[in-house]
Amino acid sequence: MKLKINEKPFLPEGRHVVKITEVEEGRSENKDIPFINCRMENENGFVNQRFYLSEPGQPILASFLKAIGIDKNEVDSKELKGKVLSIEVEERSYEDAEGKGKTIKQATHFETAGKADISDKF
């Protein structure tokens, strides 16, 4: 049997310099909270990160925007694509709305990528 893989692997845990390659808008399945989902990747893999547009999500979104050099109160999500930043990938476990345990990879600890870190490889 031949296997054809058309996707990169998930980024391993640790710090990575990534580029935002996709931005999708959506609403959470259970509480109908709007979010943006950013796919962040480099030559080694990718991670998807949802940013909820809720009151508790504001500080997380603010630190993400600061890391990619956006310092304004209002931004079009289309402006995020192509931005480069440094992230830390970690696993997080939680219970979903039905009480089932889930583990996801997430991006945290957003920082500005140094000029030496930026590469056209991804």
10-residue mean pLDDT series, the chain (122 residues): 87 97 94 96 97 95 96 92 97 88 94 70 54
3-state SS, residue 54: coil
Question: For residue 34, what are the domain limits?
Answer: 14-117
Q: Is 53 a domain residue? A: yes
Q: Is 2 a domain residue? A: no
Contact between residue 23 and residue 38 where contact means Cβ atoms under 8 Å apart: yes
Q: Is 7 a domain residue? A: no
Q: Is 20 a domain residue? A: yes
Q: Is 5 a domain residue? A: no
What is this structure's pTM? 0.86
Could you tell me how many residues make up the chain? 122
Q: What is the model's pLDDT at position 73?
A: 84
Query: What is the DSSP-derived secondary structure letter of residue 28?
Result: -
For the chain, what is the domain count?
1
Burial of residue 84, with CB atoms counted within 10 A of its CB: 0-12 exposed, 13-18 middle, 19 or more buried: buried
> Rounded to an integer, what distance in angstroms lies between the CA atom of residue 50 and that of residue 102?
15
Q: What is the model's pLDDT at position 122?
A: 54
> Which residue type does 43 have?
E
